[in-house]
Amino acid sequence: MIARVEPLTTTRRLSGPFDYKADGLALDVGSIVRIPFGHQQLDGVVVALTDSTDVPEEKLVVPTDVRDDSVPRDLVDTALWIAEEYCSTPARALQIVTPPPGKAKTYLFAEPTGETGKLTAKQQELMERLPGPAGKDLAALRRLEARGLVTISERTERRVPRTNATEDRAHELTQPQVEALKAIDEGGSHLLHGVTGSGKTEVYLRAAQACLERGEGVIVLVPEIALTPQTVARFQARFGDTVALLHSALSEGERYDEWRRLRTNEARIAVGPRSAVFAPVDNLGLIVVDEEHDASYKQDGDPRYDARHVAAFRAYQSGARLVAGSATPRPETVHTMHRLRLPARVEAAGKKPLVFAEDPAPPGVAPPRPALTPRRADGLPPVRILDMRESQHSLHPETRRAILATRKSIVLLNRRGWSNFLSCKTCGKAWECPRCDVALVLHRAQHEIACHHCGHKEPVPKRCDNCGSLAVARHGAGTERVEHELRQMLDVPIFRLDADTTSTKDAVPELLARFHASSSGLLLGTQMVAKGHDFPDVTLGVVLDADSTLRFPDFRAEERTFALIAQLAGRAGRGPKGGRVLVQTRSPDAPSIVAAANHDSDGFLREELARRKAHEYPPFADIIRVVTSAADPDAARSAAAAIAEHITVPETQLLGPAPLFRLRDRERFQLVLKTHERAAAIHATGHAVEDAARAKAFKEVNFSVDVDPV
């Protein structure tokens, strides 16, 4: 028997698989082996077992070791598919499906056998505390074991990840929920489209329940765990230890144990972010992708896989159901999946259509005139667009009034720091990163200006080093500056949530918990504040500079802008008091902003899909992006050009090479393929890049291929 082994090494130069003798070893596809390779030992994964090989008998060697844990066969297939689909290598793709390092934590456990015998007072005492761990009494217990009074066995101790407790009630389903659940149960893949609070999670929970009853396993994907603890908590509250949690904040031991519990079928539901799509769940019956619009599902590094696409592959491979849920689904999902609708917030049913959406003012603040805000029939808060084209301030007067009159609000500004760039008023010099072609952002609390791309930092300039002028202007406002302004006008606690205030692992959940517990307060932050939190007493949502996401030269700019505003609107007015949303923008007529203000996701999707069709963007064509980078711009450019020359695929448009901004001292060039022949284009790109990477002339060039970039 021959084992075909793919070595788990990251160099692109070594391309396997290589053949080894499997005689006398219990090997299967997915076994992890130690293999002699030249003068070194490498880990490898068995990708196939065969009878024949081209390697002469005398050169065939035997793996030196086989690991206890192995990769399930279907995940080996998934990894090999990823290697092709994302122009990566089998080794890199297999690395993401192999078990986490570690081993089970065991201890010895003693139990009385029921036999009796003569005991000393000390032994009597010992017997009385059994059954229990042997601990430091092992020697004494061994003597009792020898006399047949006690059995000692090895047990595994589970290292349990810390989680948030939540209460859980299974509800009687509404009619739309019943229909959605029925369709999901029947199989296939579905998009569950419903506003926040429309009962999507309850449908996932019921669908998972049905799978467990049939003996099937489940994978639930969520965006970052720290930002969406509630979904995880609800699965755990309902299903207890049959839920395994997989995410990067776990300790190595916890991660190993959770993986192992799934691999041995002790746990049947895997919950986690992107990488949980590789959970070793046997007899998979359902994969849920919650908040399917979230960009975190795309891996930013080789292999640049998209967990949503991998989920579809795994579901297809194992005949499992696939459910993608969102209040703001991506146009491509709407176009390609069967759609189930949850039309309204659950709690909207039976409510009167008019409520006061504003709270009494906090003590010490003069109450402004109370406004009567209509509640929409679907339970969503009304949204007002505030035109900022004439304004020099970061807050519109109406925003100020609303914030002053509200006990609890959320304010979104998708830009951190104090101001976005500095310039000299005398000579016009702008402060830029020495390694990247981008402006440095002022962080006042840290007394520095920083590059948000490479991390370069320098002290805040007191004067211009070009002309000596003291007049250094600060342009634009980020979260740090708005926090400062809000503190001057408000007495309530302000919680700032952005990458600067949450550098430690537990900072995000702690900050969110403090805001949650506070009877009054304002949560201010970047797009992190618009994720799935559920704060029932928040009655005001504000988006500042809503068009900031529109200014990116990217075909997804509209989609992102719509989703961000609509998601923030989903955070406000979830409780009985209702709520409202204000959107400040310099593009008050932008279709994505107007649609979000009207909660018109159907209208937005219709227009967006029409636009994408006209310009041949996904889902009407596939996009592949190749980026070359090098210190020498000529090398980067000619490498991109060489790749372009070698790609000839029908039904494929090639754009570029076009320069990108310099990053970390490297000049970059981009090549974009728009194709109707996905498989052929991926294949051709992979080959062209491999050839270029091997060419001597491009030794200093780095290559990155991104299929379906987001």
Contact residues: Zn ion, CB under 5 A: 424, 426-427, 429, 433, 435-436, 451, 453-454, 456, 464, 466-467, 469
25 makes contact, choosing from Zn ion, ligand ADP, none, with CB < 5 to 8 Å by partner type, with: none
Sign of dihedral through CA atoms 215, 221, 222, 225? Answer: positive
Closer of 478 and 532 to ligand ADP (Cβ): 532
Closer of 206 and 330 to ligand ADP (Cβ): 206
* Closest C-alpha among 176, 182, 498, 531 to residue 328: 531
427 makes contact, choosing from ligand ADP, Zn ion, none, with CB < 5 to 8 Å by partner type, with: Zn ion
Binding window for ligand ADP (CB under 6 A); candidates: 11-19, 134-142, 192-200, 693-701:
192-200
CA atoms within 13 A of residue 108's CA, in its CB half-sphere: 13
Angle, CA of 83, 88 and 90, to the nearest 5°: 50
Q: Please state the closest distance from residue 210 (CB atom) to ligand ADP, in A.
A: 16
Q: Please state the closest distance from residue 549 (CB atom) to ligand ADP, in A.
A: 23
672 makes contact, choosing from Zn ion, ligand ADP, none, with CB < 5 to 8 Å by partner type, with: none
How far apart are the C-alpha atoms of 280 and 108, rounded to whole Å?
28
Binding window for ligand ADP (CB under 6 A); candidates: 190-198, 296-304, 476-484, 593-601:
190-198
Bridge partners for 323 per DSSP = 190, 288
Sign of dihedral through CA atoms 300, 7, 642, 684? Answer: negative
Whether the Cβ atoms of residue 640 and residue 625 lie closer than 8 Å to each other:
no
Residues flagged as binding site: 424, 427, 433, 436, 451, 454, 464, 467
Phi, psi of 529 (to 5 degrees): -75, -10
Q: How many residues bind ligand ADP (CB under 6 A)?
A: 14
Q: Please state the closest distance from residue 172 (CB atom) to ligand ADP, in A.
A: 6
Cα separation values, 104 from 275, 280, 686, Å: 21, 17, 40
466 makes contact, choosing from Zn ion, ligand ADP, none, with CB < 5 to 8 Å by partner type, with: Zn ion
Give the contacts of 584 (CB within 8 A, at least 6 positions apart): 386, 388, 395, 396, 399, 542, 543, 544, 545, 546
Beta carbons within 10 angstroms of residue 235's beta carbon? 27
Bridge partners for 32 per DSSP = 45
453 makes contact, choosing from ligand ADP, Zn ion, none, with CB < 5 to 8 Å by partner type, with: Zn ion
Binders in 195-234 for ligand ADP, by CB under 6 A: 196-202
Q: Please state the closest distance from residue 27 (CB atom) to ligand ADP, in A.
A: 44
> Does 177 contact ligand ADP by CB under 6 A?
yes
Closer of 173 and 404 to ligand ADP (Cβ): 173
- Written as one letter, the residue type at 503 is S
Q: Please state the closest distance from residue 455 (CB atom) to Zn ion, in A.
A: 7
How far apart are the C-alpha atoms of 62 and 31, rounded to whole Å?
14
Q: Please state the closest distance from residue 625 (CB atom) to ligand ADP, in A.
A: 33
> Does 174 contact ligand ADP by CB under 6 A?
yes
451 makes contact, choosing from ligand ADP, Zn ion, none, with CB < 5 to 8 Å by partner type, with: Zn ion
Q: How many helices (H) and strands (E) does the chain have?
A: 18, 32
Q: Please state the closest distance from residue 293 (CB atom) to ligand ADP, in A.
A: 13
200 makes contact, choosing from Zn ion, ligand ADP, none, with CB < 5 to 8 Å by partner type, with: ligand ADP
Binding window for ligand ADP (CB under 6 A); candidates: 167-175, 266-274, 450-458, 491-499:
167-175
426 makes contact, choosing from Zn ion, ligand ADP, none, with CB < 5 to 8 Å by partner type, with: Zn ion
Which residue stretches of 129-222 are H helix?
138-146, 175-186, 200-213
Closer of 201 and 333 to ligand ADP (Cβ): 201
Residues flagged as binding site for Zn(2+): 424, 427, 433, 436, 451, 454, 464, 467
Rg (CA), the chain: 29
Closer of 427 and 489 to Zn ion (Cβ): 427
Strand, helix or coil for residue 225: helix
If you search the block for the tokens 């050839």, which residue do you land on?
A: 691
Binding window for ligand ADP (CB under 6 A); candidates: 191-199, 296-304, 481-489, 502-510:
191-199
Closer of 126 and 410 to ligand ADP (Cβ): 410
> Does 394 contact ligand ADP by CB under 6 A?
no
How far apart are the C-alpha atoms of 107 and 105, rounded to whole Å?
7
Closer of 201 and 548 to ligand ADP (Cβ): 201
Binders in 316-355 for ligand ADP, by CB under 6 A: 346
* Binder among 105, 155, 162, 171 for ligand ADP (CB under 6 A): 171
197 makes contact, choosing from Zn ion, ligand ADP, none, with CB < 5 to 8 Å by partner type, with: ligand ADP
Closer of 230 and 283 to ligand ADP (Cβ): 230
How far apart are the C-alpha atoms of 162 and 370, rounded to whole Å?
44
Closer of 461 and 476 to Zn ion (Cβ): 461
How far apart are the C-alpha atoms of 196 and 185, rounded to whole Å?
22
How far apart are the C-alpha atoms of 308 and 331, rounded to whole Å?
14
Q: Which two tokens stand for residue 529?
A: 């504040």
What region, left, alpha or beta, does residue 40 occupy, with left being phi > 0 and alpha being psi -120 to 50 degrees? beta
Closer of 172 and 390 to ligand ADP (Cβ): 172
Closer of 57 and 172 to ligand ADP (Cβ): 172
What is the per-residue DSSP string for 620-682? Answer: SSEEEEEEEEESSHHHHHHHHHHHHHH---TTEEEEEEEEEEEETTEEEEEEEEEES-HHHHH
Binders in 515-534 for ligand ADP, by CB under 6 A: none
Closer of 144 and 342 to ligand ADP (Cβ): 342
How far apart are the C-alpha atoms of 56 and 614, rounded to whole Å?
58
Q: Please state the closest distance from residue 331 (CB atom) to ligand ADP, in A.
A: 20
Q: Please state the closest distance from residue 195 (CB atom) to ligand ADP, in A.
A: 7
What region, left, alpha or beta, does residue 20 occupy, with left being phi > 0 and alpha being psi -120 to 50 degrees? beta
Q: Which residues bind ligand ADP (CB under 6 A)?
A: 171-174, 177, 194, 196-202, 346
